[in-house]
Amino acid sequence: MAFDGPRAIALANETLDIEAAAVLGLKRHLGEDFVRAVHLILAVGGRVVVMGMGKSGHVGRKIVATLASTGTPAMFVHPAEASHGDLGMIQATDLVLAISNSGESEELNAVLPMIKRLGAPLVAMTGQATSTLARHADVFLNCSVEKEACPLNLAPTASTTAQLALGDALALALLDARGFKAEDFARSHPGGALGRKLLTHVSDVMRTADQVPKVGLDASFSALMREMSDKGLGATAVVDEEGRVCGIFTDGDLRRLIEKGVDLRSAVARNVMHPHPSTINRDALAVEAAELMELRRITSVLVLDAGGQLCGALNSNDLMRAKVI
């Protein structure tokens, strides 16, 4: 049979339409049962144990990952393995989220009596309200779909998409109820770009001690230029005797003074500095420093400690090396 490109596109479009309709159709099933499920999960002292066979099991593993990364401890237990010892992983303080489109998975239903005897709450995510799974459950979450996207209406497609979406809805409702914040999310995602943005502070990437360019208010222009050249920041802070920042002098300031024809031979720092420079606290996130630079259209920023004294400096190159930007 020859490949038919237009037919493939038509089937792809139909698949996306069917699966989008399946997800949107879940909204009519949301109600008191969904609220009860959230309440039960919030109340358990243990973990959410997700179970499912076949494609529902694959969806369950993804739901576990989403729950765990958004503040709800979770793990996956394979129903078939549960019958051969893994049921011991489930405690009375846990809650079981069982997933099955038909609600009649033999491996899953075989362990339901033991779960009930254990006393762990059971939430069923199924498309059949009268199924064995739904009847055993403390809470029934309806994830039924009108039809699968599969042209044969056999392969789990729309039904697994609906399960996945309902799992996300549950995880995000729990996230909100727990007051889960970006900082909490970062703690479970320390690697990669996300971790760097949410966990890297200014103090982690700033230049310190002798690396920080600074001169006094009465420093000569030659001393000012020498400090800028030696430290390589493209700028230098101008501080008073107590180390408080009074201003900044940058490469840009130098170009503007030269363009104006200003005689710089007798100039001192206080006369050429730019007062009220942009500063940031050492405890701020490095990504905030990047946002400040972008907002003010500058390439460097001075860093202050809790007492308002100069303690560091950084520029866009420092942030790039740290892979914050």
Q: What domains lie within the chain, and their CATH numbers?
A: 5-180 (3.40.50.10490), 202-321 (3.10.580.10)
Q: What is the pLDDT of residue 190?
A: 64
- Cα dihedral: 9, 13, 15, 17 (round 10): 180
- Residue 170 makes CB contacts below 8 A (sequence gap 6+) with 34, 37, 38, 41, 63, 67, 141
CA distance 282 to 286: 9
- Residue 176 makes CB contacts below 8 A (sequence gap 6+) with none
How many residues are present in the chain? 325
Tokens of 315: 């520029």
CA distance 115 to 128: 20
Q: What is the pLDDT of residue 127?
A: 96
**Residue 254 CA to its chain's centroid (Å):** 42
Q: What is the pLDDT of residue 193?
A: 66
CA distance 215 to 268: 10
Structural contact between residues 185 and 192, judged by C-beta atoms closer than 8 angstroms: no
CA distance 150 to 55: 14
- Residue 213 makes CB contacts below 8 A (sequence gap 6+) with 227, 228, 230, 231, 233, 235, 236, 237, 313
Q: What is the pLDDT of residue 199?
A: 78
Per-residue pLDDT tens, the chain, 325 aa: give them.
Answer: 789 999 999 999 999 999 999 999 999 999 999 999 999 999 999 999 999 999 999 999 999 999 998 999 999 999 999 988 898 999 999 999 999 999 999 999 999 999 999 999 999 999 999 999 999 999 999 999 999 999 888 899 999 999 999 999 999 999 999 998 877 776 776 666 666 777 789 999 999 988 999 999 999 999 989 998 898 888 999 999 888 999 999 988 888 888 888 888 888 999 899 899 999 999 999 889 999 999 999 888 999 998 889 999 999 888 888 888 7
pTM, full prediction: 0.69
